[in-house]
Structure 1
Amino acid sequence: MNIPTIIPLFLSLLLLFPPLAICDERQRTYIVYLGSHTQQYTPDQILETHHSCLTSVKDSEEEARASLIYSYKHSINGFAASLTPQQASKLNELEEVVAVIESRPRKYSTHTTRSWEFSGLNLAAGYDVAESMKKETTMAEAGDLLHRAGYGVWPEAESFSDEGMEAVPKSWKGICQTGQEFNSSHCNKKIIGARYYIKGFETYYGRLDATEDYRSPRDKDGHGTHTAATFAGRQVRNASALGGFARGTASGGAPLARLAVYKVCWPIPNQEKIGGNTCFDEDMLAAMDDAIADGVQVISISIGADEPLSPVNDSLSIGALHAARKNVVVVCSGGNDGPKPGTVVNTPPWILTVGASNMDRGFLGTVVLGNGMKITGQTVTHHKLPKRLPLISAADAALPWVPDNETDQCLPDSLAPEKVRGKIVLCLRGSGTRYLKGVEVKRAGGAGFILANTAALGDDVFLEPHVLPTTAVTYDETREIVRYIRSAKGNATARLREPRTVLGYKAAPFMASFSSRGPNVIHPCILKPDVAAPGVNILAAWSQASPPTKLSQDRRSVKYNFDSGTSMACPHVAALAALLKAIHPTWSSAAIRSAIMTTASTRNNKGRTITDERGHTATPFQFGSGQFCPSKAADPGLVYDASYTDYLLYLCSYGLKNAGERFNCPKFPPPMYDLNYPSVSVPKLNGTLTIKRSVMNVGGDGNAVYFFSAKPPLGMTVTARPSVLFFSRVGERKEFTLTIEAREYYGEGGYGFGWYSWRDNYHVVRSPIAVSMG
């Protein structure tokens, strides 16, 4: 067994700072991470220690105080400050410093009426899990995930009504921070806290332009409101979007939960809002430090870096580790860079990472071609084109200077108006945003357009409120339309019919093409993502300051809107975590993660294996343990528990020798693959490997007997010792070992997948296995 050597980049100063940067005297923002607070210091005392640390590298105490941007005073010990690379280098040499991280304006990804019913949680009918939830449950909402800006909340949305809710619990320590268009009256018994963090952004870009976003917790973009409502929105009857689509009772998964909002992402100046947003590490770390101190129990973070980051180079990872110390559950989106492998982000074992899947609801709009063929696509534009209009491919209408590989994309200023005017245009997905493709067709005078999938996107169709009549079609349907256009030789026609809502129109869930995939390139012994949840075409509340397309050309205002991304999947799982917190208040964050993972399903609503966007069998690198299953997670039978100390030992094995507190790594820390995780990932197996695990009995009956079974990866065997576990009481723990043996070589570097389970008469505690050959 050869586990690959992982180089701890954060331990080497030369790897953190380029060799020539040492002579650079320009001020930059750095986060100086000191680990955890080891003693009970007051905030003022902590602030003074941070000032003292800065004074050691600054010319005066006044300069040290002026350079400080944030002092992290609660769970996290550290600060953000303006430093030269030379000053940062000197601080990194101090024994008490764990890491010095240069802040960069990273492009973080801002990674419902049907989704909860589809997931088996019938909130409208008063499902007992939701009803049993405690009102003290709180949640920190930190953003969202589809390359969007302007996080926060639109407090006037009906989803955030506090009607019938009891007084704010006395245990709550948060505040309602005022600002532009946001005052203390916007907090209530539902939204019990609101803050915003902008110092890092404004240190880099200068003061925020108040016309681009609210300098307050108010949401100008829509996605903060959308994800918050998906998590904890109250039940709103007769909700719909865009003139009647998806009409029904809108509800979050934890409608009685309290909500606290922490706004950390802002629009990049002078950029189109779609994709023009950023979140700074120092702002996010300050938000998480405050959220933990405020008393939140579940933190839902629909944000992810544009690439996987090492655990101490990533502010979300640092913040989540400290949340785990306080037993706060942290749920994060896994990213939107699929289907490329190795793209999943937010991958440490102390984070619950979520992938996105599709539901069974369709808004079917028929495209009737001139030859009589009917193509059933999807749309949420009520406009219809009942009479036949000329149909043209964008590739046949592109201007002469458009590159050959972009002619079919309907990119801005790419279409010739004389060829498009009055026609329906076939635009291929790929480069550019989907909204702007419709804007380009409209600019060129087109009457409507068909949004066509590429082979890589398969059946993954997005519903979006385009600025003109639109129908989106799958790859197979795209091929039929292209075939017809070619055969018609310039005389192709089509018409777009009025859409209709259909439930159960196809097997679901199936994985979204955009959902980022494993393997986990940062923590290869931790399988990610952990679970999947609905993340495509989710209906939820929206900011009325933002049009449904987010485009300046769009003058519409809506109360509800559709959106897609692992951002939308994340609050589904966070809501389930909040319900489990209410039902099992003594469970650790690791136990809650385990319950969600080991009860997840790998079957769709037709009883077959979950597939990807092309109809192929999906793997744990796409859905982790499977699609989350709220109705089963409350009673998982057994859980895989882990403590904060376990995570520190894991970091010792990873290569971090200084956790910034009174914790000394043992000379021989346990291997990373022995962390008590509910899944198994083994890179480069060469022969045989034995892995340690333990489970705790949380079933209702203290007396229980569990039997082992396995479906190993191809060419391998998986055995457990012992193969039968006997429990006599609730809370009892049993250890076992898993032995994985490669009996047959089946290809270098490729992963094989399997499962193992513990079963009694009622529970099935299932864990995925991913193994690659050495």
Structure 2
Amino acid sequence: MNTLKKLLLVTVLNLNLHVITSASNDNERKPYIVYMGEVREDIISLTNVHNNLLSEAIGDETLARTSKLHSYGRSINGFAARLLPRESKTIIAYKKGVISVFPNKVQRLLTTRSWDFLGFPEKVKRNNQIESNIIVALLDTGVWVESPSFNDDGFGPPPSKWKGKCATDGNFSACNNKVIGAQYFNLDSIEVPNENTPPVVDVDGHGTHTASTAAGISVKGASLYGIAEGTARGGVPSARIASYKVCWNVGCQDMDTLAGFDAAIADGVDIISVSLGGQPRSFFEDPIAIGSFHALKKGILTVCAAGNDGPYLGTVSNVAPWIFTVAASTTDRKFETDVKLGNGEKISGAAINTFTLKKEMYPLTNGEQAQNFSGDSYGNISACDYGTLSKNKVKGKIVYCLGKGGDSTINELGGAGTIMSMEYFEDVAFPTLTPGTYISVQDGLKIDNYINSTKSAQAVIYKSRTVNNINAPSVASFSSRGPQQLSPHILKPDITAPGANILAAYTKYSTLTGDVGDKRVVNYNVESGTSMACPHVSGAAAYVKSFHPNWSPAAIKSALMTTSNSMKIKAVGAELASGSGEINPIKALHPGLVYDITNDNYISLLCKQGYNITDFIRLIGSKKKNCSDFPLARGADGLNYPSIHMHLKDQESDISAAFYRTLTNVGIGKSVYKARVKTPKGLSITVVPNILRFDKPYQKKSFKVILKGKFVREKSWYLSGSFVWGDSKHIVKTPVLVYRPSI
């Protein structure tokens, strides 16, 4: 089943949890992760260090040996083990050399036309030789290497820097010269893979979809049963792919995710793409924040999905400042699936319906009329819950269901089709198991009234059609919004990319919907979510890196943010929904100026935020000893970030803050940039100085941004402005957002 659809169905049941946890039991051993910082060259065997620490904590060497699940040690120092809560809290957490101990949790999984829509055509200028040495790593559900999107014709051997491996099983290999690495991590053996399917293979489809979006080759004529036909391709078709399977049917366990980071960093990848996440946690208790920081130290940019809990505020995931956090937007293509009633009325819905019904009209009924009176079910009849309907009253008919899960029930009972009503996201089309469509609740009432007005109600559902979306680009309704609380003055998400109705490669080991009753196996599938937006930015970042291989992760991130296209935000959240705007990969090649950030800058920010990181500073390999040895993090946010965000406290209305920034000239020769400011009513933005003169490449110039003002309307909760630095060739855009909690 489509990943976003799964999440939406969970939401309906009021089980929309960010993470999955088990009931607490102080006498039950459960997996914990012990994080100890950087791999140290002066230690001969980290495994022995981990074993000794664990033995001391548990007090029984034999039990300690069986309790340990995994030693990280290629890029990240730490281990995973089954512990009692008291052992983790009172013993290990206070041992010298330990930064944090936290329980293992399970995170959740969070194209053709999309690249063209971004103004990034197939024949764009490329640096093919360097691009073929770029390695994009994906921490996901694995990959199906036999997809046409991963054909390796014309590819030479893997780059010499590659140190990874490929899981094999007899004559089977999960790799070729396009997908050069495939590993899997199932440290707690929570799921036994199908004995007929190599465990490294993608049996979900999510990982194959994201990998092909980031770096799949061009495949002409790709479609889903003729829907969304076009050329499927990734952002960097010549780049290599390394797959790290860390997600299984149960979700993505922290310890597996951290193992994926540990391996990918050591293997020599260039970009890490992570389309999974959960509720934000302390940076030292979040495997994605930990792994991405260690990746940063090796010059690797980590790109992450922002989450699918929109349009609600404060739902954004993956908020560490060194992560590139991606929101989802629409493209100019959407899918409509129409219903025609027997009275001639047409109703338009949103769905991926691959079926063509043979008759002009079919009998139409609803849950109440098809009720199974002899059953012993406590489900919702109107919603067509399992067991509530009579097979004799459903067979051969189209059934209207008040809810979003009726198609599996109607399919099992032999119905001709399903019409489902919901407070649906009109910018997302879900695949249906039967001939079906999703309509609004208001249109559902029309159908109910029609059914009750006649003894011979009829309807037909048409195959989905592609229509032009005149409102694109807009932030997808499901895309998670800021603000975030861990670094309140850092605007998250950072940027937006296409994530609604994206066609990309799929696996033969799953069906179109993932439902057990579905028999359709497809090479390409349509999916939606910030999971789909994330690899667009991963591909764009890899594209920029292929022209600027020596740029830091922060410089690449800045280039994409400051050259992004501004969006008209009609949805909830303004820049809290879109970040800097929608990516423009071509413009990002020549940004003119970038906001660069060093590792020390990030540590200085952590110090300013009050993290007790004396051990952390030492254990990540820094020569400095404590926070006082780092440069003072000046300004409201304390970081040289490509956006400016001021987060007021409750009931606060006066605005007064200073933000300090430094720009690096990545253009050629001398240049003069002048600042232009755009301000909303109630906010003053002053840039000092407002002219920057650069005499040579990589010269740095600093400036200050002063915010003054007041919320003039009692119920207003944000003020949105911006400033740009411009010369004769470049525009360097920086959004400014002031937010206050709703009163």
- Normalised by the length of structure 2, the TM-score is 0.88
CA contact (8 A) 2:394 2:413 kept: yes
CA contact (8 A) 1:453 1:461 kept: no
Deviations 1:84-137 (A, max 9, x none): 223222111123221111223x2x2211221111121112xx211374752110
Further displaced range: 683-692 or 382-391: 382-391
- Supply the distance in 2 between the matched residues of 1:359 and 1:744 (Cα, whole angstroms): 34
- Supply the distance in 2 between the matched residues of 1:396 and 1:731 (Cα, whole angstroms): 73
Could you say which residue in structure 1 is the equivalent of 2:133? 136
Decide whether aligned partners of structure 1 residues 516 and 411 sit closer, same or farther in structure 2, where only a CA change above 3 A counts. farther
- 1:505 to partner: Cα distance: 4.2
Could you say which residue in structure 2 is the equivalent of 1:15? none
2:410 maps to a residue whose letter is V
Among 495, 499, 516, the alignment partner of 2:460 is 495
- 1:213 to partner: Cα distance: 8.7
Decide whether aligned partners of structure 1 residues 284 and 472 sit closer, same or farther in structure 2, where only a CA change above 3 A counts. same
Decide whether aligned partners of structure 1 residues 711 and 412 sit closer, same or farther in structure 2, where only a CA change above 3 A counts. farther
Decide whether aligned partners of structure 1 residues 55 and 461 sit closer, same or farther in structure 2, where only a CA change above 3 A counts. closer
Among 206, 210, 221, the alignment partner of 1:238 is 221
CA contact (8 A) 1:113 1:539 kept: yes
Could you say which residue in structure 2 is the equivalent of 1:115? 114
Deviations 1:366-399 (A, max 9, x none): 3223332333334432323542234445466566
- Supply the distance in 2 between the matched residues of 1:585 and 1:724 (Cα, whole angstroms): 30
Matched, 1:460 2:419: no
Secondary structure, counterpart of 1:673 in structure 2: coil
Could you say which residue in structure 1 is the equivalent of 2:719? 752
Deviations 1:712-761 (A, max 9, x none): 34421111111121112221111111111123443378233222222222
Matched, 1:160 2:155: no
Further displaced range: 23-32 or 643-652: 23-32
Kindly report which structure 2 residues correspond to 1:134-283, keeping only aligned pairs within 5 A, or say none: 134-143=131-140, 151-179=141-169, 183=172, 185-200=173-188, 202=189, 205=190, 208-211=191-194, 214=197, 216-241=199-224, 243-267=225-249, 277-283=250-256
- Supply the distance in 2 between the matched residues of 1:427 and 1:754 (Cα, whole angstroms): 45
Could you say which residue in structure 2 is the equivalent of 1:553? 517
Matched, 1:736 2:703: yes
Decide whether aligned partners of structure 1 residues 669 and 240 sit closer, same or farther in structure 2, where only a CA change above 3 A counts. closer
Deviations 1:338-367 (A, max 9, x none): 122111101111111111112222344432
Deviations 1:390-414 (A, max 9, x none): 444546656689889x554444334
Further displaced range: 646-655 or 470-479: 470-479
Matched, 1:372 2:379: no
CA contact (8 A) 1:35 1:98 kept: yes
CA contact (8 A) 1:98 1:660 kept: no
Secondary structure, counterpart of 1:384 in structure 2: coil
Could you say which residue in structure 1 is the equivalent of 2:314? 342
Matched, 1:655 2:610: yes
- 1:528 to partner: Cα distance: 1.1
- Supply the distance in 1 between the matched residues of 2:581 and 2:388 (Cα, whole angstroms): 42
CA contact (8 A) 1:36 1:660 kept: no
Could you say which residue in structure 2 is the equivalent of 1:664? 626
Matched, 1:34 2:36: yes
CA contact (8 A) 1:461 1:472 kept: no
- Supply the distance in 2 between the matched residues of 1:480 and 1:763 (Cα, whole angstroms): 54
- Supply the distance in 2 between the matched residues of 1:407 and 1:681 (Cα, whole angstroms): 48
Matched, 1:287 2:260: yes
Decide whether aligned partners of structure 1 residues 114 and 215 sit closer, same or farther in structure 2, where only a CA change above 3 A counts. same
Could you say which residue in structure 2 is the equivalent of 1:300? 273
Further displaced range: 409-418 or 580-589: 409-418
- 1:67 to partner: Cα distance: 3.1
Further displaced range: 372-381 or 109-118: 372-381
Secondary structure, counterpart of 2:697 in structure 1: coil
- Supply the distance in 1 between the matched residues of 2:673 and 2:577 (Cα, whole angstroms): 29
1:360 maps to a residue whose letter is D
Deviations 1:478-523 (A, max 9, x none): 566566557x466543222344434x34221222221111111332
CA contact (8 A) 1:460 1:474 kept: no
Secondary structure, counterpart of 1:375 in structure 2: strand
- 1:215 to partner: Cα distance: 5.4
- 1:624 to partner: Cα distance: 1.2
Matched, 1:472 2:438: yes
Deviations 1:64-84 (A, max 9, x none): 444332222133222212222
Matched, 1:412 2:380: no
Matched, 1:543 2:501: no
Could you say which residue in structure 1 is the equivalent of 2:566? 602
- Supply the distance in 1 between the matched residues of 2:233 and 2:441 (Cα, whole angstroms): 33
CA contact (8 A) 1:91 1:97 kept: yes
1:497 maps to a residue whose letter is Y
- Normalised by the length of structure 1, the TM-score is 0.85
Matched, 1:83 2:83: yes
Matched, 1:586 2:545: no
- Note the residue ranges of structure 2 that are not aligned, 5 or more in a row: 1-22
Secondary structure, counterpart of 2:294 in structure 1: helix
Deviations 1:417-474 (A, max 9, x none): 4654443233345xxxx5x4211122344321223341xx45223141x222113345
Kindly report which structure 2 residues correspond to 1:64-83, keeping only aligned pairs within 5 A, or say none: 64-83=64-83
CA contact (8 A) 1:359 1:509 kept: yes
Matched, 1:325 2:307: no
Secondary structure, counterpart of 1:199 in structure 2: coil
- Supply the distance in 2 between the matched residues of 1:600 and 1:622 (Cα, whole angstroms): 14
Secondary structure, counterpart of 2:659 in structure 1: strand
Kindly report which structure 2 residues correspond to 1:571-720, keeping only aligned pairs within 5 A, or say none: 571-603=535-567, 609-612=568-571, 619-658=574-613, 659-661=616-618, 662=622, 663-666=625-628, 670=634, 673-684=637-648, 686-699=654-667, 701-720=668-687
Further displaced range: 384-393 or 715-724: 384-393
- Supply the distance in 2 between the matched residues of 1:590 and 1:482 (Cα, whole angstroms): 55
2:599 maps to a residue whose letter is Y
- 1:621 to partner: Cα distance: 1.6
Decide whether aligned partners of structure 1 residues 689 and 27 sit closer, same or farther in structure 2, where only a CA change above 3 A counts. same
- Supply the distance in 2 between the matched residues of 1:756 and 1:384 (Cα, whole angstroms): 55
CA contact (8 A) 1:749 1:772 kept: no
- Supply the distance in 1 between the matched residues of 2:92 and 2:428 (Cα, whole angstroms): 50
RMSD of the alignment, in Å?
2.8
2:710 maps to a residue whose letter is R
CA contact (8 A) 2:608 2:638 kept: no
Could you say which residue in structure 1 is the equivalent of 2:3? none
Decide whether aligned partners of structure 1 residues 467 and 602 sit closer, same or farther in structure 2, where only a CA change above 3 A counts. same
CA contact (8 A) 1:130 1:255 kept: no
CA contact (8 A) 2:544 2:585 kept: no
Could you say which residue in structure 2 is the equivalent of 1:274? none
- Supply the distance in 2 between the matched residues of 1:477 and 1:736 (Cα, whole angstroms): 55
CA contact (8 A) 1:344 1:519 kept: yes
Deviations 1:10-54 (A, max 9, x none): xxxxxxxxxx98x944322221111223x4246x52222222322
Decide whether aligned partners of structure 1 residues 442 and 61 sit closer, same or farther in structure 2, where only a CA change above 3 A counts. closer
Matched, 1:58 2:58: yes
- Supply the distance in 1 between the matched residues of 2:455 and 2:130 (Cα, whole angstroms): 62
- Supply the distance in 2 between the matched residues of 1:266 and 1:213 (Cα, whole angstroms): 16
CA contact (8 A) 2:433 2:515 kept: no
- Supply the distance in 2 between the matched residues of 1:136 and 1:656 (Cα, whole angstroms): 38
